[in-house]
Structure 1
Amino acid sequence: MKYFNYFYFLTISIFLFSCSNEQTQNVELKGNAMGTFYFIKLIDVPKKIKEEKLTLEINKTLLEINKIVSNWDNLSEISVLNSNKTLLPIKISNNLLDVFKTANFIHIKSNGYFDITLDPIIDLWGFGYKKDKMKKKPPLKEDVLETLLLVNQKKYLEINQSNNELVKKNKDVSFNLSAIGKGYGIDLIGKKLRNLKINNFLINIGGDILTNGYNSKKQDWVIGIENPNLQQQYIKEIVNVTNKGVATSGDYKNFFDNDGKKYSHIINPKSGMPINHSTKSVTVIEESAMLADGWATAFLAMGSTQGLKIAEKEKIAVIFIDKSEKKLIKVTSNEFKKLK
């Protein structure tokens, strides 16, 4: 999964560009957040929408996201839920319910390769939010196997949508939403913008993207997919998209080395071990940023061989970048090919 400190709003700067239509303007919002960045480009924004209102809406949304899905905030809804040891039904917000519903959907469709109950395994490997437990060496195999007993989303999570409740079937189960929460946050910002009658935008938070409408040239948005070989900084692929979420997950983004072996932060929920296959990165284009975010993690956890079969079955646009000897090769689904 992808792990990072969730966005707590720090700074925002606004750039205004003149347009041929005096009643609209193009706006760029750039900000820094804890552990990541964001860049939002807005096209044909009504001039009656003031800078202060845009700033306020983005600020409020980032704080709202943080208070729901951040494992780094001890008072967030997910952190409070994790600390609750009851086996009785627990009330949750509509927002958290949306995230859990999507997590369950991807968990089922991915045959369990996406699992938000991985939290204790993530912590065991030192990739979690408990900074005092950060490791630079792998845990003992018996510790992995013991901790893995707490990982099974289908077994330990029950959702009652009609009552906004969930039940933890094991009091020690805890959830980590880092592989889906960022995408959900992007979707929330997109919803806020549409409510303001801003329908042409690109939102980029930490590399995950949501597009809507058209760009400044009145065309689809052009998205570059990065090369996972960090020694060669160039774009590996370019796609044109609109009204879609785009997310990339890679084994090169967060890892540690021990005795010459690299351990990725992407954990296989079946084994409790970091991935060890030829797929270096996965980019997914989906109907929402949350779906793209979750699927990118699931596909990277399983690798391109299994991932492509599921992508074709579910009609998902995805590109896998695999390492073959010293070369990088692209493996794409039929839905992805349609974007070219």
Structure 2
Amino acid sequence: MRRTLVPLIENPPESPALGSVVHTLHGQTMGTSWSVKLVAEVTRRLPPLRLAIQTQLDTIVAQMSTWEPSSNLSIYNQSAAGSWHALPDEFFTVLEYALKVARASDGAYDPTAGALVNAWGFGPSQRYDESDFIPPTAQALDAARAQCGWQRIQIDSATKHVQQPGNAYIDFSAIAKGFGVDQIARELLRLGIDSFLVEVGGELRGTGVKPDGQPWWVALEHPLPDALTSAASNTAIGIETIAALYDWSAATSGDYRRYFENDATRYSHTIDPRSGEPIRHGLASVTVLHADCMAADAWSTALNVMGAEQGLAYANEHDIAALFINRSKDGFEEHLSASLLALLQ
């Protein structure tokens, strides 16, 4: 069974010029892969386009990676209490929006939760997949919690400066890939490419239409893709959801992407900043559709932390198009927000 989602658009995009074909570019970034499908008439443009894309992504890594000791973010995270830091435009844009989502979600999403991410083994060192890793002790968690709190971060929007309040460890892993998708889209449009599908680590954004006039159709992520081939009543199994990305983005936050098990307990990489522990409420994934991939990325994380009941209520109250997939004793159950239901065709 298949359902389709089509965002409402006032002016449908025109089909590309006659003779245009779809080309694919790809590469590596942020510990994952990126790919771009784009419509162009000539192949000689592809090498400079690929360089432009990789340059945008390399800039994000140089500014916002916790894995790179020399990045602007790593320098900030290691700086003295009370120090102020001038930020590059991209870094400031992401930080400002991250703090906005943290405030709006009452801390369900918190960019300062990096110490907790690290404590649970999902940061750049002492990782969960290393043989000597052990889950954090109560004392270690208390210490990590003391480093968190988006309210501690002061920014000066006029000068694009941020203060280090002391031991704050910012982590953009739940927003940087979405921002990267947006940056690629902006760069392609600047270079005269107006029909493309961008993907970075599973986060997506489409613009324009393909040579045949069709939109960029994408299948929304499912926690168990193989299950889509079987039928089951009253569950999400057997239902595939595809979306037409007419100048829209899709981002997914799921507890199945990275996790570890210890003493028969499953620990998701999605950390609830409010409790300091991995989420355990049974919500397998949340996919958000939004015009901006950075927003979809951050909000999919926030809603995933909230859980199915609170997250769905929040999405309905704030007009967020979201698909929730919850684990149940019978398999998976889906919940669609009102804004997402409005896109069904």
Tell me whether the two structures share a fold, i.e. TM-score over 0.5. yes
Q: How does 1:230-245 map to 2 (within 5 A)?
A: 232=227, 236-245=240-249
Matched, 1:279 2:283: yes
Q: Structure 1 residues 167, 37: CA separation in 2 closer, same or farther (over 3 Å shift)?
A: same
Find the counterpart in structure 2 of residue 252 from structure 1.
Answer: 256
**Residue 145 (structure 1) shift:** 2.4
Mapped contact 1:115–1:269 kept (Cα < 8 A)? yes
User: Aligned partner of 1:36: which letter?
Assistant: T
Mapped contact 2:322–2:339 kept (Cα < 8 A)? yes
Matched, 1:116 2:111: yes
CA distance in 1, matches of 2:160, 2:149: 21
User: Aligned partner of 1:88: which letter?
Assistant: S
Find the counterpart in structure 2 of residue 31 from structure 1.
Answer: 27
| 3-state SS of 1:285 partner | strand
Q: How does 1:117-136 map to 2 (within 5 A)?
A: 117-131=112-126, 136=133
Q: Structure 1 residues 251, 175: CA separation in 2 closer, same or farther (over 3 Å shift)?
A: same
Find the counterpart in structure 2 of residue 167 from structure 1.
Answer: 163
| 3-state SS of 2:210 partner | coil
Q: Structure 1 residues 82, 20: CA separation in 2 closer, same or farther (over 3 Å shift)?
A: closer
Mapped contact 2:22–2:210 kept (Cα < 8 A)? no
Find the counterpart in structure 1 of residue 149 from structure 2.
Answer: 152
**Residue 34 (structure 1) shift:** 6.0
Matched, 1:103 2:98: yes
TM-score when normalising by structure 2: 0.87
Find the counterpart in structure 1 of residue 335 from structure 2.
Answer: 331
CA distance in 2, matches of 1:56, 1:240: 28
| 3-state SS of 1:50 partner | helix
**Residue 101 (structure 1) shift:** 1.1
**Residue 247 (structure 1) shift:** 0.4
| 3-state SS of 2:154 partner | strand
**Residue 50 (structure 1) shift:** 1.8
User: Aligned partner of 2:139: which letter?
Assistant: E
Q: Which of 223, 230, 243 is equivalent to 1:228?
A: 223
Mapped contact 2:27–2:54 kept (Cα < 8 A)? no
User: Aligned partner of 1:272: which letter?
Assistant: G
Q: Which of 198, 201, 204 is equivalent to 1:206?
A: 201
Q: Name the stretch that deviates more: 212-221 or 76-85.
A: 212-221
User: Aligned partner of 2:25: which letter?
Assistant: L
**Residue 48 (structure 1) shift:** 8.5
How many residue pairs are counted as aligned between the two chains?
318
Q: Which of 62, 65, 74 is equivalent to 1:67?
A: 62
Mapped contact 2:29–2:58 kept (Cα < 8 A)? no
CA distance in 1, matches of 2:28, 2:107: 34
- Provide structure 1 residue ranges, at least 5 long, that are not aligned to the other structure: 1-18
User: Aligned partner of 1:207: which letter?
Assistant: G
CA distance in 2, matches of 1:230, 1:215: 26
Mapped contact 1:241–1:339 kept (Cα < 8 A)? no
Matched, 1:142 2:139: yes
CA distance in 2, matches of 1:20, 1:195: 18
| 3-state SS of 2:220 partner | strand
**Residue 76 (structure 1) shift:** 1.1
| 3-state SS of 1:27 partner | strand
Q: Name the stretch that deviates more: 236-245 or 325-334.
A: 236-245
User: Aligned partner of 2:322: which letter?
Assistant: V
**Residue 157 (structure 1) shift:** 0.4
| 3-state SS of 1:97 partner | helix
| Fraction of identical pairs, as percent | 30
- Provide structure 2 residue ranges, at least 5 long, that are not aligned to the other structure: 1-15, 230-238
Residue-by-residue CA offset, 1:207-238 (whole Å, 9 max, x unaligned): 10011112343233212123212663657422
Q: Structure 1 residues 132, 317: CA separation in 2 closer, same or farther (over 3 Å shift)?
A: closer
CA distance in 2, matches of 1:96, 1:311: 27
TM-score when normalising by structure 1: 0.88
Mapped contact 1:282–1:318 kept (Cα < 8 A)? yes
Residue-by-residue CA offset, 1:21-55 (whole Å, 9 max, x unaligned): 24x44321122446322221112x25386222112
CA distance in 2, matches of 1:219, 1:25: 13
**Residue 93 (structure 1) shift:** 0.9
User: Aligned partner of 1:108: which letter?
Assistant: R
Residue-by-residue CA offset, 1:85-135 (whole Å, 9 max, x unaligned): 141322111111100111011111111100011111111111111247856
Matched, 1:193 2:197: no
